[in-house]
């Protein structure tokens, strides 16, 4: 990914969504030919010259200060995730040789985390993903809910690939388009943090070529953590259920997060999740018997 073009595209998309009134700027005179704020209006709100901001948006200011970036973030009304993303684009970190390019088979999950997934398996689907959405580990209930990642070739064990490329995912997720756009927003955030990740860039290129909606969603420059929220499923075996999705970072394992899906206590979804757990255990027992 070209950092300069990414920065410019992000800044343009953020000012395009803001009206002068929303940003607290007095609208300048003349006919407005573009939606949202003009460059000079952003510059005025940020306290920098119009020329300086123009060079920043064009990627021609490689040594922008933290104070200027903070002022631009305030002028554009960026939220916390967007502000961090702006800093990552404008002041990219330098990764060590080979970092960020390990495949899913090379990124290990600690035994203690595997144990946690097994304990959760009694009641809760849970899986571990990295910044590319590669699925590094998943308990049986997560595989029963979403897809059997362990049955897939290693390269295809990726949550974003499942959502965007697996035809069954469009049926599994009640709000597939919303889920897909959240995944794309998370991938854009990861791309800003890891611009030189070859495997991530290859994945994005594949989505661009194979998913008709991807290009339009990517061009919106939306960034997001996919950290929590409800997800509605239409499971082919047990039927509809609504689960709360939470993402928990593993501080000792850089880039790894645990995705947990829980049902509201006493709800119909909790009972349905129990049915799914029973079904997955029966299927697991049957598979074990066949393997003997």
Domain co-membership, 123 together with 86: no
For residue 101, is it within any domain?
A: no
Ranges assigned E (strand) in the chain: 126-129, 135-138, 228-235, 239-249, 257-262
For residue 79, is it within any domain?
A: yes
Dihedral pair phi/psi, residue 261, rounded to 5°:
-120, 120
For residue 142, is it within any domain?
A: yes
pLDDT of residue 269: 97
Q: Give the pair of three-digit tokens for residue 274.
A: 């129990």
Domain count along the chain: 2
For each successive 10 residues of the chain (292 residues), what is the average pLDDT? 74 88 65 78 92 87 85 92 89 53 65 95 94 96 96 94 96 96 95 91 96 95 88 96 95 92 96 94 56 41
- Segments forming the whole domain that contains residue 128: 106-291
Global pTM value? 0.83
Domain co-membership, 155 together with 62: no
DSSP 183-196: HHHHHHHHHHH-TT
Q: What burial class does residue 291 get, using C-beta atoms within 10 Å of its C-beta: 0-12 exposed, 13-18 middle, 19+ buried? A: exposed
């Amino acid at each position: 990914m070209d950092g300069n073009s990414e920065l410019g595209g992000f800044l343009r998309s953020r000012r395009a969504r803001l009206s002068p009134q929303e940003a607290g700027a007095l609208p300048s005179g003349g006919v407005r030919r573009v939606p949202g704020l003009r460059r000079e209006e952003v510059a005025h709100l940020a306290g920098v010259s119009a020329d300086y901001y123009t060079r920043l948006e064009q990627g021609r200011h490689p040594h922008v200060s933290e104070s200027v970036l903070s002022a631009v973030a305030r002028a554009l009304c960026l939220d916390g995730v967007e502000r961090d993303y702006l800093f990552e684009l404008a002041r990219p970190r330098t990764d060590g040789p080979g970092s960020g390019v390990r495949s899913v088979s090379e990124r290990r999950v600690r035994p203690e985390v595997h144990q946690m997934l097994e304990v959760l398996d009694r009641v809760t689907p849970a899986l571990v993903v990295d910044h590319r959405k590669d699925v590094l580990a998943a308990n049986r209930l997560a595989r029963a809910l979403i897809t059997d990642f362990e049955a897939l070739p290693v390269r295809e064990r990726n949550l974003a690939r499942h959502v965007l490329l697996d035809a069954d995912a469009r049926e599994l997720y009640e709000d597939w388009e919303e889920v897909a756009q959240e995944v794309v927003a998370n991938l854009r955030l990861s791309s800003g943090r890891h611009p030189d990740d070859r495997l991530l860039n290859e994945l994005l290129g594949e989505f661009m070529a194979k998913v008709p909606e991807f290009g339009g969603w990517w061009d919106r420059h939306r960034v997001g953590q996919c950290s929590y929220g409800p997800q509605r499923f239409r499971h082919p075996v047990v039927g509809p259920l609504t689960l709360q999705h939470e993402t928990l970072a593993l501080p000792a394992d850089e880039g790894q997060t645990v995705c947990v899906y829980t049902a509201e206590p006493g709800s119909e979804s909790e009972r349905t999740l129990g049915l799914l757990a029973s079904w997955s255990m029966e299927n697991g027992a049957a598979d074990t018997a066949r393997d003997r």
